[in-house]
Amino acid sequence: ATMPPLLSAIANAGRHGVLVKSAVVMERLGQVDAVAIDKTGTLTEGTPQVTDVRPLAESGLTEEELLALAAAAEHPSEHPLARAVVDAARARGLRLAVAEDFDSAPGLGVRATVDGGVVAVGSPARMLGCREGHPASEVAARLEAGGRTAVLVELDGTPVGVLGIADRLREEAAETVAALSSLSDGAPVLVTGDNERAAARLAGEVGITDVRAGLLPQDKVRTVQEMSAAGRRVLVIGDGVNDAPALAAAHSGIAMGRAGSDLALETADAVVVRDELRTIPTVVALSRRARALVV
What residues are labeled active site?
Answer: 38
Q: What are phi and psi of 162, to 5 degrees?
A: -135, 140
Q: Compare residues 134 and 222 and give the one whose CB is closer to Mg ion.
A: 222
Can residue 39 be called a binding residue for ligand ADP (CB under 6 A)? Answer: yes
Q: Compare residues 161 and 240 and give the one whose CB is closer to ligand ADP.
A: 240
Can residue 110 be called a binding residue for ligand ADP (CB under 6 A)? Answer: yes
Can residue 108 be called a binding residue for ligand ADP (CB under 6 A)? Answer: yes
Q: Compare residues 27 and 239 and give the one whose CB is closer to Mg ion.
A: 239
Can residue 260 be called a binding residue for ligand ADP (CB under 6 A)? Answer: no
CA distances from 131 to 2, 69, 127, 159 (A): 66, 22, 9, 11
> Considering only 92-100, 187-195, 227-235, 284-292, which stretch makes contact with ligand ADP by CB under 6 A?
187-195
Residue from the set 12, 184, 242, 282 that interacts with ligand ADP by CB under 6 A: 242
Q: Compare residues 98 and 292 and give the one whose CB is closer to ligand ADP.
A: 98
DSSP 191-256: E-SS-HHHHHHHHHHHT---EE-S--HHHHHHHHHHHHHTT--EEEEE-SGGGHHHHHHSSEEEEE
Can residue 164 be called a binding residue for ligand ADP (CB under 6 A)? Answer: no
Q: Scanning residues 25 to 54, which ones bind Mg ion (CB under 5 A)?
A: 38, 40-41
> Cβ(234)–Cβ(32) under 8 Å?
yes
Can residue 261 be called a binding residue for ligand ADP (CB under 6 A)? Answer: no
Can residue 123 be called a binding residue for ligand ADP (CB under 6 A)? Answer: yes
Can residue 55 be called a binding residue for Mg ion (CB under 5 A)? Answer: no
Specify burial of residue 84 (Cβ count, 10 A radius: 0-12, 13-18, 19+): buried
CA distances from 221 to 171, 172, 249, 250, 253 (A): 28, 26, 6, 8, 12
The footprint of ligand ADP (CB under 6 A) covers 38-41, 74, 77, 79, 81-82, 107-110, 121-123, 149, 151, 192-194, 240, 242
